[in-house]
Amino acid sequence: MPKPLWEYTLYVPNGPRAVPIGRRTLRDILTTHDLPSLIDPAELLASELLSNAIRHTEGPAALKIRQSGPSFRLGAWDTDPTPPTTSPTLAPVHDEHGRGLRIVDAYADDWGWFKVNGSGGKYVWCELGAGAGPQS
């Protein structure tokens, strides 16, 4: 019998506490649903997605977490409809900006984005499988 579908959405104001609250909430959800192997990669990915949503907009954001069978999806919504971009060059080692989507691309099984009708914003998502980790 396939696992039941579950989904959570955490709305956060634009501020410095958004990302740590998102990580803690995600850890609690994955622990509750007995998915400890997904905690570390999911926290990393959620941090990158939610950081981008907070850094590049002035409005609120949301972290959405969902599982249906073997597929685990997480994503971040923000109020800016501008498509996400990856830097064509690698950021210097000491630079803390410009790596987010490269990390998402390396760790996620798949990722993408779409404009959200009605809010004028966008949703950037990624998926992890049971064997989560960097992709070759």
- Residue 37: count other Cβ atoms within 10 Å of its Cβ: 14
Domain annotation covers residue 103: yes
pLDDT of residue 98: 52
Domain annotation covers residue 83: yes
| CB-based contact 42:132 (threshold 8 Å) | yes
pLDDT of residue 88: 56
pLDDT of residue 135: 43
Number of domains in the chain: 1
Instruction: Kindly report the CATH number assigned to the domain that includes residue 84.
Output: 3.30.565.10
| H or E element at residue 26 | helix 18-32
Which residue positions in the chain have pLDDT lower than 70?
A: 1-4, 87-99, 119, 130-136
Domain annotation covers residue 135: no
Q: What is the identity of the amino acid at 89? A: T
CA distance 43 to 41: 5
pLDDT of residue 134: 43
Domain annotation covers residue 51: yes
Range of the domain at 37: 6-128
Note the pLDDT tens digit of each residue in 57-84: 888 999 999 997 778 999 999 999 988 8
> In sequence order, what are the residues at sequence separation of 6 or more whose Cβ sits closer than 8 angstroms to the Cβ of residue 55?
none
Q: What is the identity of the amino acid at 9? A: T
- What's the pTM value of the predicted model, to 2 decimals? 0.82
